[in-house]
């Protein structure tokens, strides 16, 4: 790679939904992606642990020369964005704010649903960000942890997935929301069954798409027409990552390397 790349990290494979949108938007940029497959899932872990992992992940991408860090993981974005902004010498963007802006723009009745991991929902990062922009909004949140393994299993059309989505979403749907934020990297993979269950009157906000749009404000398009390179790194299970990745990206991943982040960057 001759240019400084865009650095993206996630707890695992789900962040490829964000990678896909950014790659679409920036075909000429080099991108380095790190999936922390050794320590996934982040959703049920404590805030401090997720912050420590996020720092290590971002520092690894900085070592690869990243000129901007994109936190694809909603759980990391919810708890570690400010910390990373404070300690890194490059711009850091998370997925919460773009998703929130897009939800507020889309909602007519200001009744917004949020679904995400336990960590994301517990942090209240989405609801706080919504209230900052619209004090009158009503926000209904629900952690949907089972949707992550269902998406990884490729069960988009499976009846178990539909039943699970219904079970999680029923209480929120009764609140007459008109917009639902898919606040987890994996949920865009299940967009179709989710839309089927909530009906066409509810707008789904895909935070992966939203971040692609918002990056334009920070990252100008490069003056080159050389196709950008992709480099993928994981901390474990490269075969499984490669398999799921080719399903999400509709192509085989060429450069996939397993790395060991070690403990050297651990800070207290
Ligand atoms: N990447 C995580 C997120 O978007 C979902 C998977 C996990 O729990 O690590 O919150």
pLDDT in tens, the chain (268 residues): 568 999 999 999 999 999 999 999 999 999 999 999 999 999 999 999 999 999 999 999 999 999 999 999 999 999 999 999 999 999 999 999 999 999 999 999 999 999 999 999 999 999 999 999 999 999 999 999 999 999 999 999 999 999 999 999 999 999 999 999 999 999 999 999 999 999 999 999 998 888 888 898 889 888 778 899 999 999 999 999 999 999 999 999 989 999 988 654 444 3
pLDDT value, residue 265: 46
What does the radius of gyration of the chain's CA atoms come to, in whole angstroms? 18
pLDDT value, residue 212: 83
Q: What are phi and psi of 179, to 5 degrees?
A: -145, 140
pLDDT value, residue 267: 41
Q: Whose CA is nearest to atom 7 of ligand 1?
A: 41
Tell me 188's DSSP state: G
The topology under which CATH files domain 6-94+211-258 is Rossmann fold (3.40.50)
Q: Which residue has the tokens 């695992």?
A: 12
Q: What are phi and psi of 139, to 5 degrees?
A: -120, 130
144 noted as active-site residue: no
Q: Does residue 204 contact residue 180 with C-beta atoms inside 8 Å?
A: yes
- Answer whether 205 contacts ligand 1 (Cβ < 6 A): no
Domain boundaries, the chain: 6-94+211-258, 96-207
On whether the 96-207 domain is CATH 3.40.50.2000, my answer is no
pLDDT value, residue 221: 84
pLDDT value, residue 2: 61
- Answer whether 11 contacts ligand 1 (Cβ < 6 A): yes
Tell me which residue of 189, 184, 175, 204 sits closest to 115, measured CA to CA: 184
Q: Whose CA is nearest to atom 1 of ligand 1?
A: 73
Which atom of ligand 1 lies nearest, measured to the CA of 95?
4
State the pTM of this model: 0.95
Q: Does residue 224 contact residue 209 with C-beta atoms inside 8 Å?
A: no
73 noted as active-site residue: yes
Q: Does residue 185 contact residue 208 with C-beta atoms inside 8 Å?
A: yes
CA 254 / ligand 1 centre spacing (Å) = 24
- Answer whether 184 contacts ligand 1 (Cβ < 6 A): yes
* Cα–Cα distance list, 51 to 34, 87, 105 (Å): 16, 12, 30
Which atom of ligand 1 lies nearest, measured to the CA of 117?
10
Q: Which of 73, 169, 219, 253 is catalytic?
A: 73
Which atom of ligand 1 lies nearest, measured to the CA of 183?
4
Sign of CA dihedral 76, 80, 81, 85: negative
- Answer whether 14 contacts ligand 1 (Cβ < 6 A): yes
CA 124 / ligand 1 centre spacing (Å) = 15
Q: Whose CA is nearest to atom 6 of ligand 1?
A: 41
- Answer whether 75 contacts ligand 1 (Cβ < 6 A): yes
CA 178 / ligand 1 centre spacing (Å) = 24
Residue 124 exposed, middle or buried by CB count within 10 Å (0-12, 13-18, 19+): middle
Q: Which of 137, 144, 184, 256 is catalytic?
A: 184
Tell me which residue of 166, 87, 171, 86 sits closest to 121, measured CA to CA: 171
148 contacts: CB under 8 Å, gap ≥ 6: 14, 41, 43, 117, 184, 186
């Amino acid at each position: 790679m001759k240019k400084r790349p865009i650095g993206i990290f996630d707890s695992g494979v789900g962040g490829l939904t964000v990678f896909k949108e950014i790659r679409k938007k920036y075909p000429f940029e080099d991108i380095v992606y790190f999936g922390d497959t050794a320590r996934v899932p982040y959703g049920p872990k404590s805030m401090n642990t997720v912050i420590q992992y996020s720092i290590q992940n971002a520092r690894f991408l900085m070592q690869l020369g990243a000129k901007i860090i994109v936190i694809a993981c909603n759980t990391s974005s919810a708890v570690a964005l400010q910390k990373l902004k404070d300690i890194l010498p490059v711009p850091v963007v998370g997925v919460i704010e773009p998703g929130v802006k897009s939800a507020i723009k889309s909602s007519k009745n200001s009744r917004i649903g949020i679904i995400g991991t336990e960590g994301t929902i517990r942090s209240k990062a989405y609801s706080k960000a919504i209230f900052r922009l619209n004090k009158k909004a009503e926000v209904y949140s629900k952690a949907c942890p089972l949707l992550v393994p269902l998406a990884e299993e490729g069960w988009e059309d499976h009846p178990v997935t539909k039943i699970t989505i219904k079970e999680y979403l029923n209480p929120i749907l009764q609140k007459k929301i008109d917009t639902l934020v898919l606040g987890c990297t994996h949920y865009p993979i299940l967009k179709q069954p989710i839309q089927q269950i909530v009906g066409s009157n509810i707008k789904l906000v895909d935070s992966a798409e939203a971040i692609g749009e918002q990056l334009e404000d920070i990252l100008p398009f490069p003056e080159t027409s050389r196709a950008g390179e992709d480099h993928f790194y994981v901390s474990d299970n490269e075969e499984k990552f490669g398999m799921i990745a080719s399903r999400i990206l509709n192509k085989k991943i060429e450069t996939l390397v397993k790395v060991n982040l070690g403990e050297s960057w651990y800070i207290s």
